[in-house]
Amino acid sequence: MWPDHRILDLFGIDIPIIQAPMAGSVLSDMVVAVSEAGGLGSLPCALLSVEQARRELEVIRRRHRARSMSTSSVTSSLATTRLAK
């Protein structure tokens, strides 16, 4: 058992694992797997178009509803960059 529950309570997770949102290598399958295991799944949206992000988020929602996972935790991230002139 994890001795300090603050992070668990803050994110509503069972185990202290926060999956890194690694753009280009993570999609909904990984996010759902981490969330199902009790950690915080993270969908990286930086390299996705708006439509791709919507599709991936819908897959996550559908899979969570199918498993009645109303209490699982998922986050999405959007990294922004400023191009040098």
Q: Residue 67 and residue 34: Cα distance in Å, rounded?
A: 14
Q: How far is CA 15 from the centre of its chain?
A: 14
Where do the structural domains in the chain lie, given as residue ranges?
A: 12-74
Encode pLDDT of 23-65 as tens digits. 888 999 999 999 989 999 999 998 999 999 999 999 998 988 8
CB 48 within 8 A of CB 56: yes
CB 69 within 8 A of CB 37: no
**Model pLDDT, residue 59:** 93
